[in-house]
Structure 1
Amino acid sequence: MRLYLTALNPTDAVLDGFLPGAARLGLPVTVLTDQPSRWPDPPGVTVTGVDVRDVRAVVDVVQSAEPPTALLSNSDHLQTPTALAADYLGLPGKDWRATLRCKDKRLTRRTLADAGLDTVAAVALGPDDDPDLARDVPFPAVVKPREGVASEDVYLVADRADLHRRVTEIRGRRPGLPLLVEEYLAGDLHTLETLGDGRSVTVLGAWRTDLGPPPTFIEAGLDWAPRLPQPVSDQVLTQLAALGVGFGACHTEFVVADGRARIIEVNYRLIGDRMDLVLAELLDTPLFEYVIRVHAGEPLPTLPDPVRVARHARVEYVCADRSGTLVSAPDRLDVVAPDGVRLGIRPLRRLGVTAPLTRTNRDYLAALHAIGPDAATVTGALRDLRAAHHWEIQG
């Protein structure tokens, strides 16, 4: 029996999370990817090239190989085809309707409105549609790809002229891209991390998110913040249930204003940008193994109560401030400070790589994290860690 993982490019979640997790469970792994040349080939792992967006291609490969224990994906782009393939193969998996509702932000808005849970003014724009179709959306507004990720091409727009300018810019870079224009939802930005087995959903924890300056929405840092008011947590879980979310890992971003939780987007997979690995370390829980086991049909195990975790964590990102080549940066680092704070640096861009400035999460050069006894100690340790290292871009 074998674990099948669908993926695009290599990610830390797979390389440092799912593959070691599968090895600890004694499961051989086949990575199904459309970019096989980019993947390493560690012991116990087979990398197979396949069009992972094509359900039939995935089914063909799995049926012609060793019988599957589970089929899953941690890619935003592959949740629906993977869910369809798992269903065809008779494997536990996510409801493809739910994955589609989460991926397509217009469907997210429509589903929540139809359920009477939240109504957000939103208008979808086809590739050739006049932006004035969104004239009834109040300003400030947000323009974003209808199925986007990583805050790419997401902008706060102040008025009609600003909207036209941003739409023209996005279409110039990415012709044919469907867009969504929606009202700006003000409030404190949080996440809710959940894991379900199709029968029950457990809250793994929550983070409070710091954003960089507008008009973009790049995440600058996240603080562990599991003590959400119960009504807020209940509101988010009710909205997720309306979307059909209830199996596997899910990362939900939402704002809170006046005690009301309003979903920004739902990523039906683990939280990304190394936050999943920090979460597993913070909870001292084999999180990736649990996700695999759920997809293998096992019931959800007992998980730590995040509110009772007697530790704090913070993650900060070092972002490029210009286009160019990364010429100086620290290596991966793991260290325990004298006060017991566990500190880490994880490079997210290799030395010598030349990249444009995108003002998205793709500008991240490194993720820095600290886990310690309380927020003040963690924040201070992370400040000192950042000050002791240097990142330089030339060009």
Structure 2
Amino acid sequence: MRLYLTALNPTDSVLDGLLPAADRLGLPVTVLTDQPAAWPTDPTRLSGAEVSGADVRDVRAVLDAVYRGDPPLALLSNSDHLQTPTALAANYLGLPGKDWRATLRGKDKHLTRRTVADAGLDRVAAVVLGPDDDPGRAATVPFPAVVKPREGVASEDVYLVDGPSELLRRVTEIRGRRPGQALLVEEYLAGDLHTLETLGDGERIAVVGGWRTGLGPPPTFTEEALDWAPELPAPVLAQVLAQLDALGVGFGACHTEFVVSDGRARLIEVNYRLIGDRVDLVMAELLDLPLFAHVLRIHAGDPLPALPDPVRVPRHARVEWVCADRSGTLVAAPGPVDATGPAGVRLGSRPLRTVGVAAPLTGTNRDYLAALHAIGPDPATVREALRDFRAAHRWTIDE
């Protein structure tokens, strides 16, 4: 029996999380990807997994690839783009997996809004603009508003706009980069930005934890820092879980972003996968939890295990990203760093861009140069230790 994992480009969640977890469980793994040349060739870096080329966006191609190999124990993905084809393939094979309708509702931001509204849980003013639609069709949406791809990820091409002329300019820009793609214009949801991390087995869903998100300056929505913040008012948590239930979310890992304003929880987006950008790895360390093994076991048919109460964990964590402030080539940066700071704070830095790589400034997490984190006894100690740790390192971009 073999575990099959669909993926596009390699990510830390897979290379440092899911594959090592599968190796520790003694599960042979085949990574199915449409970008096999982008993956490491070192078997150690792959934790012994095989990499095989396949058109992973096509359900039939995924099925063909699985049928060519050993019988499947599980089939899953941690990619936003591949949740629906992977869910359909798993369902066809009779394997545990996500409901493809729920994955579609999460990926398609308009379907997210429509489903939650139809359930009577929240209504957000939103209008879809087809590739040839006049932006004036969105006149019913109040300003300030947000324009973004209907099925986008990573805050790419997501902008705050303050009026019709700004909306027209941003729509024109995005269409120049994304011809043929539908856009969503929706009201701006003000409030404190949070995440909720959940894990479910199709029968029960449990809260793994949550983070408070710090954003960079508008008009983009770049996440710059996350602080561990698992405790939410009971009514707010109930509202988020009710909206996830309406969407059909309840199997495997899910990362949900929402704002809290005047006691209301309002969804920003639902990413039906682990949180990513190394935060899942930090969370597993913070909780001393085999998170990635739990994900794999659930997809293999095991029930949801007992999880620690995240509110009672006597530690705090903070993640910060070093973001490029201009387009250009990264010419100097530290490699991976692990250290211990005052009061036993565990500190780490992991590169997210290779020295010598040139990239444009995007206003998204594509601008990340490195992920820094600290785990310690309390928020103040963690912040101070991470501030000093960051100041001791340099990242240099040559324009």
User: Could you say which residue in structure 2 is the equivalent of 1:363?
Assistant: 367
Partner of 1:297: 301
**Which of residues 210, 223, 245 in structure 2 aligns to 1:206?**
210
- Indicate yes or no: 2:167 matched with 1:163: yes
The two structures have a TM-score, normalised by structure 1, of 0.99
Matches of 1:387 and 1:369 in 2, distance apart?
13
Q: Match for 2:110 among 106, 109, 121?
A: 106
Choose from 50, 67, 73 the match for 2:71: 67
Paired with 2:341 and 2:318, the residues of 1 have a C-alpha distance of: 15
* Corresponding position of 1:15: 15
What is the TM-score of this pair, normalised by structure 2? 0.98
Tell me the secondary structure at the aligned position of residue 214 of structure 1: coil
1:232 maps to what in 2?
236
Whole-angstrom distance in 1 between the partners of 2:328 and 2:367: 11
Q: How many residues align?
A: 395
Which residue does the alignment assign to 1:182? 186
Paired letter, 1:56: R
Aligned to 2:30: 30
Tell me, yes or no, if structure 1 residue 266 matches structure 2 residue 277: no
How far apart in 2 are the matches of 1:338 and 1:160?
Answer: 51
CA RMSD after TM alignment: 0.6
Query: Could you say which residue in structure 1 is the equivalent of 2:326?
Result: 322
Tell me if 1:124 matches 2:128: yes
What is the 5 A alignment of 1:367-386?
367-386=371-390
**Partner residue in 2 for 1:47:** 51
Counterpart residue type for residue 376 of structure 2: G
How big is the shift at 1:173? 1.5
Contact residue 3 and residue 73 of structure 2 kept, 8 A: yes
Q: CA deviation at 1:338?
A: 3.7
- Match in the other structure for 2:335: 331
The CA deviation at 1:331 is 0.9
1:64 positional shift: 2.0
Q: Unpaired runs of 5+ in structure 1?
A: none
Q: Secondary structure at the match of 1:51?
A: coil
1:27-57 per-residue CA deviation (whole Å, 9 max, x = no partner) reads 0110000000111242521100000000001
CA distance in 1, matches of 2:236, 2:386: 29
C-alpha distance in structure 2 between counterparts of 1:359 and 1:18, whole Å: 28
Whole-Å Cα distance in 1 between the matches of residues 390 and 40 of structure 2? Answer: 30
> By how many angstroms is 1:172 displaced?
1.2
Give the distance between the partners of 1:162 and 1:61, measured in 2 at CA: 46
Unaligned runs of 5+ in 2: none
Instruction: Quote the Cα distance in structure 2 between the aligned partners of 1:237 and 1:138.
Output: 27
- Following superposition, the deviation at residue 375 of structure 1 comes to 0.1
Displacement after TM superposition at 1:253 (Å): 0.2
Q: Distance in 2 between matches of 1:378 and 1:390?
A: 20
2:139 pairs with 1:135: yes
Q: Which amino acid aligns with 1:73?
A: S
**Structure 1 partner of 2:260:** 256
Measured in 1, the distance between the counterparts of 2:69 and 2:322 equals 42
| Equivalent position SS for 1:368 | strand
Specify the alignment match of 2:391 in structure 1: 387
Distance 1:166 1:108 in 2: 23
Spell out structure 1 runs of 4+ moving beyond 4 A: none
Shift of 1:322: 0.6
1:83 aligned to which of 80, 87, 104: 87
Q: Distance in 2 between matches of 1:85 and 1:363?
A: 34
SS at match of 2:128: strand
CA distance in 2, matches of 1:133, 1:304: 48
Q: Which amino acid aligns with 1:389?
A: H
Distance 1:173 1:58 in 2: 29
Moved more, 106-115 or 37-46: 37-46
Q: Which amino acid in structure 1 is aligned with residue 6 of structure 2?
A: T
Cα distance in 2 between the residues matched to 1:338 and 1:115: 50
Separation of aligned partners in 1, 2:320 and 2:155: 16
Q: Could you tell me which residue of structure 2 aligns to residue 153 of structure 1?
A: 157
